Each structure stands twice: as structure tokens, then as C-alpha cells.
A and B are shown apart, each in its own frame.
Chain A
Amino acid sequence: MTRILYCNCSYAQAVPKEVKEEVLKRLCASGAAFDAVADLCDMSARKDPAMKKLVESGDVKIVACYPRAVKWLFHAAGAPLPKDGVEVLNMREKTADEILAGLQPK
């Protein structure tokens, strides 16, 4: 089962506000289970051990920013992403509709 991890980029406005708000609103309105964090950058800076649990055991779709940034943020926190089963959906480039379509089970 694929889990969902949403990053709110709370400490800066790197992700367009209207995209992240719309994605979160529709996630909340859906029946989907998800984990949401205030800011992956902040967690990475603190090497938060919680980053490990967020991406372990099974496939995960990470709704955040650029895949290269997300990959190395996890690595920097000592929680490297598994090679398989991780998909990053980039709210800096995609619309809310595209993100939500990407969250649909295939």
C-alpha cells in the first residue's frame, strides 16, 4: 500500500501558497490516510529521526518540491530514500490538479 507524505514548507514560501493549500484542502476532504510535516528542510537540518519512519516500510509518495532536493534532504538527515518505491510530486512546478492526479492509485 502506498503511503502519502505531504510537506507544508511552513518556514518559507518556496512552494506556491495556492498550490500547497489546495493540495492539503483536497487531501483533507478525501478519505486518504496521510502524514504531513511542517517542513522537511527543518527536519533535515535537525537530522530528525522521524524522517526515517516517514519513508520506511513500503511505497511512499512525497508531495513536496524538487525530487533532487528531497532526495538529498533525506540523505543529509541520515535517512536515505529507498531506491525503489518512492515518488516525489513537485508542488513548485505542478498544479494542484496534477499533484492530486499523481496521488491516485495506479
Chain B
Amino acid sequence: MNKTEGKNLRVVLYEGPGSAPLPAEDRYRAISALLQNGFEVSRPAAGGSVARADGAPMLVLGRFEGGSTPPIEGADVRDVTGLTSDGVLGAAREIREKAGARKLEAWKPWFPVIDYDRCTNCMQCLTFCLFEVYGVDKNDKLTVQNQSNCKTDCPACSRVCPEVAILFPKYKKGPINGDVVRQEDIQREAMKIDISALLGGDLYQSLKTRSSDARKRFSTERDESKALLERKRCLKELGKDLDIPDEVLMSLPSAGDIQERAERAKAKFAARQARSQTVKDTKPPPSEKEWGI
């Protein structure tokens, strides 16, 4: 199963009629342990409400009178009288296994989230990301298509967004973490976003030129260690500028792959432009009604 697939097991901590309430400390320990292990928890109480049942796997836990569990349609029911938080967690794990619900993944959910109030659909991020995280939907609108392709702790695409429209909610600093975007943030990002200026022209052309220069230098100097040092230096600078973790830089695709991807992105962009041009050309002139006459 893919790390972004599957339903969580919902655990309902029942303390209503026919059961004894848990002491507050036990309730906290049980709920905390369940959350730390990826479960969704609901605590219904008199005078309040929780989300409705939605057909997802559900486990109802309680300290039921006499230890007898009432039948509840669509749910497993367990008596947890006398159980510690470990015991509660064990019961939940057992039902999760039985229900085929999703297990806790060792994946930190790290992926870009688009703020469509700010996004202008400029596609800089799509062109920039080398891991095909972004795509476009049927209306040519930018979307995040492959969340799990995103490299953990790498916020580089958000640094190239001219509108500060890309969030990484788990990032340490604002506005990338979702904090309010201030004027100074836009100015600061604008200094970093102009990839053309940063690399002296078209990004992929620059990479190509750089690679070709390096090859020439390599063939004349025949000094592998010097070339390697130069590459390391460049990557270090890029990493520092865009806050890209070292391990991401180490896993970059090869120059050939980047070139191939650039060609694909260019072709996609050209097709998109052509399509939007066709739509413009074939759109009939507005009717009198549309003009409001």
C-alpha cells in the first residue's frame, strides 16, 4: 500500500450510560497514546457532539458495567476496565489489524499545499520541481499530484514561488508554514525567486551550459577532484539559498534526466499555450445579452 493510502481506525471513547467514566489522567494517557500511534479518537460527552459515523472502521472502548459489551452496529466494542494506556493501545492495534485499517507510517507528511487565494498558475513550481510532485488538472490548473514524491524537509519550490502561495505546514518558519504573508515576505522572496536572474537566463539552458562548460574544463584539466569540488561548492550554495537539505541535493536526478524533463515541461507548456490560444480564437463574440444590451 502506498504511504498516502488507506483509512484510519476511529476509536470512540464511550463514557455514557451503562459505563463508568475514566479518571481524567487515564483518559488523557489513553487518548494521547492512541493519537501518537495514528488513530483518530472521538470523545462524546453529554451536552456536546462529535463527528458522525461515516462507514470507516470504528472501535468503541469503554468501562462497561459488568464487563459486558453492548452490540453496536458497524463497530467493534471492547471493555477496557482495568487496562492501562498500553492495554488500550493493544486493543486498538488488534482491531486495526483485523479491520485492515491503515497502520502508522514512518512517513513525515511533508508535501506542498497550494494557497489558491495567492496562486496565479504561473507554473514556476511545476517547472522547478525535479520530482514531479506538481501537475495540472483537466482545467490546466496547477495541482499537487504526487505528494509522496516530495523530499522531506525540502521547501525549495516554495522559495521560487513569486506569490508565496506554496505552504509546507510543518516547516519551521513563516510564511511557508502558513503564517500570514507580509509585504516584506513578498519582497524577500522576490529577491530569490527570479531563477533566470539567479542562473543567468533560462534555468535548463543554464544547467546545460554549465554542464557543457564543466565537460570542456574537465577534458582540458582532466582533474576529477577539482570538478567534484566545484560541483559540491555549487550545490552547497544552492542548498543554502533555498534551504534544501543535503540529502535532497545528493538525490538529484542526473543532468540527462533533468534535460529530458525540461524538454517534457517545455512541450507541455507549449501545448497548454496552444490550447488556450485555440479557445480564445474559437470563442464567439459576445451576444447582445452578454453585453447587457
B27 interface residue, CB < 8 Å from A?
yes
A29 to B110, CA, bound (A): 32
* Residue from A8, A11, A14, A48 in contact with B177 in the complex, judged by beta carbons closer than 8 Å: A14
The residue in chain B whose Cβ has the minimal distance to the Cβ of A28 is B28
- Residue from A12, A31, A37, A68 within 8 A of B47 (CB atoms): A31
- Which residues from chain B contact A9 at a C-beta distance below 8 Å? 170
Q: Which residues of A contact B114 (CB under 8 A)?
A: 72, 76
At the interface, yes or no: B109 with Cβ under 8 Å from chain A? yes
Determine the main DSSP class of B at the interface with A: loop
Within residues 42 to 56 of chain B, which ones have a CB less than 8 A from any CB in chain A? 42-52, 54, 56
Select one of A3, A10, A45 contacting B38, CB under 8 A.
A10
Total A-B Cβ pairs within 8 A:
164
Q: Are B32 and A24 in contact (CB under 8 A)?
A: yes
Contact of A54 with B51 in the complex, beta carbons under 8 Å: yes
Inside 8 A of A29's CB, which chain B residues have their CB? 24, 27-28
Q: Does A91 contact B (CB under 8 A)?
A: no
A35 touches B179 (CB 8 A): no
Partner of B111, one of A10, A25, A45, A69: A45
Partner of B113, one of A5, A14, A69: A69
The closest CB in chain B to the CB of A58 belongs to B49
Report the Cα distance A8→B28, complex, angstroms.
13
- Report the separation of the CA atoms of residues A52 and B104 in the bound assembly, to the nearest whole angstrom: 21
* Cβ–Cβ contact A65 & B169, under 8 A: yes
Q: In the complex the two chains form, what is the Cα distance from A32 to B43 in whole Å?
A: 8
Distance between Cα atoms of A29 and B116 in the complex (Å): 39
**Chain A's nearest CB lies how many Å from the CB of B253?**
23
Give the contacting residue for B178; candidates A24, A31, A57, A70; CB below 8 A.
A70
Which residues of B pack against A, CB within 8 Å? 4-8, 10, 24, 27-28, 31-32, 35-52, 54, 56, 102, 104-105, 107-111, 113-116, 144, 147-148, 167, 169-172, 174, 177-180
Q: A8-B36, A36-B41 are in contact. List 17 more A-B contacts (CB 8 A).
A: A8-B32, A14-B170, A25-B28, A28-B28, A32-B48, A33-B50, A34-B42, A38-B38, A39-B38, A41-B110, A42-B105, A42-B107, A46-B102, A48-B7, A50-B56, A69-B169, A72-B113
